[in-house]
Amino acid sequence: MNYKNSIDKFIEIFKRSNLSISKFASLINKDRRTVTSWIDNVTDIEPSNEIKDKICNIFRYPDYIWEEGCHSDEFLKSITQIPQKEVRIIDEDYYGRLKYIMELEQNRRFVIQAQFPGPMYRDTAVQEVYRTKSSKDIEELKQGRIDQMLRYDYDTTEWYSIKSVLSFCFASIGNFYSREEKIKILELIYELFNNNYNKKLFLFDSFSRKIYGMETTYISINVKQKILFFKSPIESVFIEIRNKNLVERMHKYYSSPIEAPSHVNFLESVKIIKILQDAIKYNNTLVQAYEIINRTTDYGELFYHNLSLDLQKEVSAPKPGQRRN
């Protein structure tokens, strides 16, 4: 089939959706009779641009599928395969990867971090956590990134799971940091984010819903350029995505208080960082830190979720009326 007009394309998309006419009609906000007239080819009035845009948003198709030049095999390819221009593999050495990050995050960044703290904060206190070959060029670039991030006016929004923050502070396995280094890093983060509306820190509860990958990979979203990239399981490879709908959806998900996972807002997150810093400074346990968070903030419930079942039996129940977002 040639799929030269929008109705032919509409019919093919409907067939591949495996949805009922009623369900398909409700998704595009049209009545069942109108959708049926297109499917049965009893009308030559093509779907409006609004409907075409809605279909692309719902099924994540590129908007060029409706163009006259996109027909036959080209159309089928466009709705069944990931467009190559929207996915790019960045396979560089360490210097190339770092330069790539700095270029995309030159003026601002919106990131979901795999672990707490982020690499820049780690490198200010612990220079060689991982054994990697370095050079003068790499060290200069790393310092340039640190200087960029430390600027008061640098716009950064960072998401960390509560689990990763508590592991950094209290875990005795897989923890690279001494007590003094932990205090230094938490102090740096507190000073950077406290009373600075250019910098926003969010702590989210990764146990509040099924969240895949948010704790295992670095994701950076540049909504202005409609680009996101993330680290692949292969250390030397980044995956770059330029799908406008996906980038905007990801950004909206983590910038919307309603849609985002249960989290501590950016003002209270800074307060909790200070509580955790004091806990380490005064050799308090995780249980003691939780009790202070539960008593002095509205987010004890989120931290309670991140305690083991045995620890939950030892601590106070979250106080009533606490916020989840």
Residue 109 lies in a domain: yes
215 and 121 in a common domain:
yes
Where residue 63 falls among pLDDT bands split at 50, 70, 90? confident
Number of domains the chain contains = 2
180 and 52 in a common domain:
no
Q: Which of 24, 52, 80 is at the close of a domain?
A: 80
Residue 262 lies in a domain: yes
43 and 12 in a common domain:
yes
69-119 per-position pLDDT tens digit: 788 887 888 888 766 567 888 888 878 888 888 888 888 999 998 889 888
Residue 324 lies in a domain: no
User: How many percent of the chain have pLDDT more than 90?
Assistant: 44
Residue 325 lies in a domain: no
75 and 29 in a common domain:
yes
**Does 153 have pLDDT greater than 70?**
yes
Residue 126 lies in a domain: yes
**Does 159 have pLDDT greater than 90?**
yes
135 and 43 in a common domain:
no
128 and 58 in a common domain:
no
28 and 119 in a common domain:
no
Domain range for 281: 88-313
Nearest CA among 186, 148, 187 for reference residue 168 = 186
Highest mean pLDDT among 67-81, 134-148, 168-182: 168-182
201 and 119 in a common domain:
yes
Residue 322 lies in a domain: no
Where residue 289 falls among pLDDT bands split at 50, 70, 90? very high
* pLDDT at site 319: 86
CATH number at residue 21: 1.10.260
4-61 per-position pLDDT tens digit: 789 999 999 999 888 999 999 999 999 999 999 999 989 889 899 999 999 988 888 8
Residue 1 lies in a domain: no
Mean pLDDT of the 302-316 span:
93
Distance CA 181, CA 125 (A): 6
59 and 92 in a common domain:
no
293 and 156 in a common domain:
yes
264 and 130 in a common domain:
yes
Residue 281 lies in a domain: yes
In contact, 57 and 245? CB cutoff 8 Å: yes
92 and 48 in a common domain:
no
Q: Which of 19, 49, 80 is at the close of a domain?
A: 80
